[in-house]
Structure 1
């Protein structure tokens, strides 16, 4: 009874260690993670029908529907805590064929690793939801592989959870096919296609069809970590392109030593699986997905010319630009190998106290060497409140009769507002206001500009640089302009603001109508 209670409680313990400061009142806004009080369900871009590449399809639609009954602040907390709890509980279920100590060790690594830390800080919450679904998908698909017939919801629900974004949808489909095996994957593969249809249809309905600027290959290439190069970063589930979100502990020698220990334990687990035993079938099922993960993650770093051609020419090729995302496919295999290796090593220790000590160290070591995932990634993730002025601006926009879309200025993809404690976040205006909003989709990384794919955003950028920006914006179908007065570059908009009609003006944000006679 006590062992079962410990197994059920451990995922909650880890989730709360990470998410405790995020449970305060407000929203956690970090890079791509933007939740708002209510995402308007009538906006075309929520359903992938806007001009921008539908990267947030169907995740934005799911949030908009959920917002009809659940406020944004609560929904975000449920998503973040729930993802980590579900990931841990799923890993415990996936590793149920091993003893409790080995289960806990493999589960700890599955939850407490650089992939989870980096994707959490950069705000890829749909990817974390998909990551949480992977072990549950493995459990169901292993049963299919072995000739069983699990209840449909046991594999359909995890597959659907992976389909909240294009990249995560690919991850779920690849893992399902890998684990089921080619002979028995037909039904699962068909369902994988069906649950991913929202973003597939929306993607091919756009002119770019998922193609991207090849300059993004170098920018998004997997980066070295822990002093072990790019391959070492990949094999330790790290290497995200944005080095600002990497835990500081990954630069310490302890991270290097831990990786060497981790790989040794995995090697022992691999040998154990090779010789037979409980790990053999899961390892065989998971190896193809892990190989695919490493190939996608490393191609941009080692053979960039190939990936540049793919993202520029092949429809949907842009999905491979951030290859490190696909390391999620490696995580289930590593969790199994860790559990198998720990079980084998502990089994060689005869003394009961020594065996328990080995298991405790194996369980707690990932946390000890990367403590800065705890407490909201060492304070990087804390809840804040939107300024009251944002609600007033939203009301002004909702009451406006001006025809046309909204544009957010200064025209840049990211903000670092003081009310968010200076943390970088994707411009919240893109989701906050009840009107289709044109935002900049160009990305500047270390001086390199990665071109966007939204023709509408490009037209607005040109309009702002024209001799008569107000008239050109009106000609482009822009009826309203919202200006973040505290953002970098706002001081350069005085001339444009003078030509617009103010609807609401606060200390941090202002809303203007583009005059209908601005032609």
Structure 2
């Protein structure tokens, strides 16, 4: 009973080590992670019906529905803590064929790794939810592979959780085919297609969706980490394109040494699996998915010309641009190999003290070498409150009778507002207001611009440069303009402001109506 309690408690311990500071009042706003008090369910772009490529389908719709009963601040905390707890609990379940110490070691690596750290800081919460579902999906699909018939919800629910975004939906589909096997995967594949239909249909509804700027291949290519090159970064579940979200500890010698130890343990696990035993069938089932994930992650770095052609020409090819996302497909296999390898090492330590020492080190070493995942990713993830003026601006937008969509200026995708302690975040105004909002989807990476795919955003950008921008915006169907006063570039908007009708003006944010006639 004591061992079972320890196994149940460990995922909670890890989750709270990471998320404790995030439980304070407010919202954690970091890069793509944007939660707002209330995401309006009537906005067409929430359902993928706006002009922008539907990258947040159906995750935005899920949030909007949940916001009908749960405020945004609470929903975010449930998602973040719940994802890490469920990931650990799922890994423990996936590894229950091993002893408790080996289970804990594999579970620690599954939760406490660079992939989780980097995707958490960059704010890819739908991808983390999908990552959480993977071990649960493996457990159910292994039963199917072996001829069993698990209850439908045991594989349908985790499969649906992987479908919150296009990339994670592909990850889930690849995993079920790999684990179930070709002979038994037909029913599961049909369900995988069904749960991914929201973003598939929305994608087809957008002309040219998924055809991306080939410059993005170089921008999103896997980066070296831990002093072990791109391949080493991939095999240690790191290598995200944005260097600013990488834990500082990944630059230390300890990270390099840990990776070498980790791979040695995994190699032992692979040898044991090859010879038979409890790891053999899971390893055989997970290797194809891991190979796919590794190949997709590396293609942008080693065969960029091929991927540039794919993302520019093939509809949906843009899903492969950020290949490091697909390293999630390696994580279940690595967790199994770690558990198998630790079992071998502990078995060779005959004395009780030596055996327990091996197990304790195996469980705690990932935490020790990457301590900056703890406490909100080393303080990077801290809750803040939206300024009171934002709520007043929201009321002004809701009360306005002006027809047309909303535009947020300055026209750039990311902000680093002082009220967010200067941390970079995707402009929250894109989701905050109860009206369809045109946003700039160009991305600046290391000074280079990766062009977005939204034709309407490009048209609005051209309208802003016209001699009479107010009239040009009205012609593009813009009825309201919100100006964030603390953003870089507001000084260039004086001429436009003079042609607009003020609705609400504050020190930090202002709302204007675009007059129906040009002046």
Q: How far 1:468 moved relative to its partner?
A: 1.1
Deviation string 1:351-393 (CA, Å, 9 cap, x unpaired) is: 0011001000000000000000000000000000000000000
Q: Report what 1:94 is aligned to.
A: 94
Distance in 1 (CA, whole Å) between partners of 2:381 and 2:127 is 17
Aligned-pair CA distance for 1:119: 0.1
Counterpart of 2:298 in structure 1 is 298
1:406 and 2:398 aligned: no
Whether 1:212 and 2:228 are equivalent positions in the alignment is no
After superposition, residues 69-84 of structure 1 pair within 5 angstroms as 69-84=69-84
Which runs of 5 or more residues in structure 2 are unaligned?
Answer: none
**CA deviation map 1:36-81 (0-9, x unaligned):** 0000000000000000000000000000000000000000000000
Report if aligned partners of 1:55, 1:165 keep a CA contact under 8 Å in 2. yes
Matches within 5 A, 1:308-387: 308-387=308-387
Q: Secondary structure at the match of 2:504?
A: strand
CA distances 1:376-427 after superposition (whole Å, capped 9, x unpaired): 0000000000000000000000000001000000000000000000000000
Q: CA deviation at 1:439?
A: 0.7
Alignment-derived partner of residue 494 in structure 1 = 494
Q: Counterpart in 2 of 1:395?
A: 395
In 2, Cα distance between equivalents of 1:500 and 1:147: 67
Please give the alpha-carbon distance, in whole angstroms, between the structure 2 residues aligned to 1:116 and 1:251: 17
CA–CA distance in structure 1, aligned partners of residues 474 and 197 of structure 2: 35
CA distance, structure 1, for counterparts of residue 2 and residue 425 of structure 2: 43
What's the secondary structure of 2:68's corresponding residue? coil
2:39 aligned partner = 39
Counterpart residue number, 2:511: 511
* CA contact 1:130–1:164 (8 Å) conserved in 2: yes
Instruction: Tell whether 2:443 aligns with 1:449.
Output: no
Poorly superposed stretches of 4+, deviation over 3 Å:
none
Structure 1 portions without partners, runs of 5+: none
Question: Which residue of the partner structure matches residue 138 of structure 1?
Answer: 138
Q: Tell me the distance in 2 between the aligned counterparts of 1:103 and 1:467.
A: 66
Report Cα offsets for 1:335-363 as digits up to 9, x if no partner: 00000000011001100011001000000
Cα distance in 2, alignment partners of residues 312 and 321 from structure 1: 10
SS in 2 for 1:39: coil
1:330: how far off? 0.3
Look up the match of 1:9: 9
TM-score scaled by length of structure 2:
1.00
Give secondary structure in 2 for the equivalent of 1:29. Answer: coil
Note if 1:272 corresponds to 2:272. Answer: yes
Structure 2: distance between partners of 1:420 and 1:434: 22
Q: How many residues get paired?
A: 519
In structure 1, what is the Cα distance between the partners aligned to 2:36 and 2:447? 30
Q: CA deviation at 1:465?
A: 1.1
Q: Secondary structure at the match of 1:163?
A: helix
Note if contact 1:204-1:210 (Cα within 8 Å) is conserved in structure 2.
Answer: no
CA deviation after TM superposition for structure 1 residue 250, in Å: 0.2
Q: In structure 2, what is the equivalent of residue 188 of structure 1? A: 188
Give secondary structure in 2 for the equivalent of 1:482: strand
Identify the residue that residue 23 of structure 1 maps to in structure 2.
23
The 3-state SS of whatever aligns with 1:270 is helix
Contact kept in structure 2, 1:409 and 1:490, CA below 8 Å: yes
Partners of 1:11 and 1:84 within 8 A in 2: yes
Indicate if the aligned counterparts of 2:482 and 2:512 stay in contact, CA closer than 8 A. Answer: yes
Per-residue CA deviations over 1:257-315 (Å, capped at 9, x if unaligned) read: 00000000000000000010000000000000000001000000000000000001111
Other-structure match for 1:148: 148
Query: Does the 8 Å contact 2:209/2:453 carry over to 1?
Result: no
Counterpart CA distance in 2 for 1:455 and 1:138 is 40
Q: RMSD of the TM alignment (CA)?
A: 0.5
Q: CA deviation at 1:209?
A: 2.5
Shift of 1:518: 1.8
Matches within 5 A, 1:146-185: 146-185=146-185
**Distance in structure 2 (CA, Å) of the matches to 1:420 and 1:495:** 29
1:512 aligns to what SS in structure 2?
strand
Q: Which residue of 2 aligns with 1:120?
A: 120
1:227 paired residue number: 227
- Tell me the SS of whatever aligns to 1:517: coil
Q: Secondary structure at the match of 1:90?
A: helix
**DSSP 3-state at the match of 1:374:** helix
Identify the residue that residue 253 of structure 1 maps to in structure 2.
253
Q: CA offsets per residue over residues 463-492 of structure 1, 9 Å max, x none?
A: 111111111001100000000000011111
Give the distance between the partners of 1:208 and 1:56, measured in 2 at CA.
17
Separation in structure 1 between the aligned mates of residue 208 and residue 114 of structure 2, nearest angstrom: 32
Equivalent residue of 2:164, what SS?
coil
SS in 2 for 1:265: helix
